[in-house]
Homo-oligomer: A and B are copies of this chain.
Amino acid sequence: MATIVFPNEHSPVEDAESLHKSFEGWGTDEKSIITILGHRNTYQRQQIRKAYEELFQEDLVKRLEKEIHGEFERAVYRWILEPADRDAVLAHVVIKEGKNYHVIAEIATVLSPEELLAVRRAYLLRYKHSLEEDVAATTSGHLRQLLVGLVTSYRYVGEEINARLAQSEAEILHEAIKEKKGREEEVIRILTTRSKTQLLATFNRYREAHETPIYEKLEDETSDEFHKALYIAIRCFIDHTEYYELVVREAIKRRGTDEDALTRVIVSRAEKDLRDIKELYYHKNSVHLEQAVAKEISGDYKNFLLTLLGKED
C-alpha cells in the first residue's frame, strides 16, 4: 500500500500558481513546494507541470532546478517525473557513472513486463539510444549478459508452472553456486527468461532441497558488480518489499547515509508499497522508519521525504 493519500479534487492551475508564488520574492518557499508536490499523485503532478507551462511559458522542472538545491532538489526532481521516465533517468545515471549497476537489476526485476517496456520507451525518447544499447556498451562479460538479458526481458505473466523444470533448474542453480564458476551462462539464461512465477517455484525447490534460501550463498560474494546484480535480482524476484527494507536499512546504517538509495526507494515506492516497507522496517528494527530517517537527514530534504513517508504536518 501507498503511504500518501492524495486529494480527489485538486486544481492544477491553482497548484501551478501557488508554486509560482513560492518561487517569487526573496528566497524560495520550500514548505509550500513540499506541501503541494508531496501530496499529489503521478497524474496530478503531470497536470501541474502542464498547467505551469501554459501559465508561465516555463518548464516547472527547469525552474525548480534553479530554486532548490542538493539532495532536496534531486528528490523533488525524481518525484515529479512519471515513474517510467524516472526509472529511465535512474538507469542513465548508473550508465553515465559506470557504477551501481545493481540499480538496473532492481528496476528490471521489480517492474512488470509492461512497466519495464515503458521504461525502455522513455529511455529511447530521452536519450535516442536504447537502454540495452547503453548498458551493453558500458559493461562486459557476465555482467553485460545478465543486465542486457534482464532489461530486454518480456516475461510470461501467469500462474502456469512447470514443476519438473523448477526441479531441474534449481539443481542447475545449485551446481553453479557451489562450483562458483563455469555455469554462469545457464544461471543468466534462467534468471533472464523464466516467468517470475516459475522462478519462484525454482527458488522454492532450491530452498527445500538445500535448506537455505538461494541468495544466502551469494550474499558474501557481492564484491563484484556481476555477483551483486545477480544477488539483487534474486532478492527482488523473491520479495521486493523485503529487498527494499534492506536497502533502506543499509542506507541509514551506513556512516554518512546513502541518500541516493534512500531517495530512490522512498520516491519510487511512495505511490506503491511504501506502507508495507515501513511496516516491515518497524518489524525488523523496532524503530519507525520516519524516526530513523528524521535522525539521519535534515532540512527541506528531510521534510520532503517525511511527507512522502506519510507523516502528517
Contact = CB atoms under 8 A, between A and B. Distances in A.
Interface of A: 117, 120-121, 124, 128-130, 132-133, 136-137, 140-141, 144-145, 148-149, 152-156, 158, 160, 185, 189, 192-195
Chain A's interface: helix, strand, loop or mixed, by majority? helix
Contacts of A132: 152-154, 192-193
B194 A160 contact: no
A253 to B, nearest CB: 37
Given A137-B193, A148-B149, 6 more contacts: A124-B156, A133-B193, A136-B192, A136-B193, A144-B185, A149-B152
Copies of this protein chain in the complex: 2
15 contacts: A124-B154, A128-B158, A128-B160, A129-B156, A130-B156, A130-B193, A132-B152, A132-B154, A132-B193, A133-B193, A133-B194, A136-B189, A137-B193, A140-B185, A152-B152
A121 B148 CA distance: 19
A155 to B, nearest CB: 6
Contacts of A137: 189, 193
B189 A144 contact: yes
Contacts of A117: 117, 154
A154 B160 CA distance: 27
A265 B76 CA distance: 53
Contacts of A121: 154
Contacts of A155: 130, 133
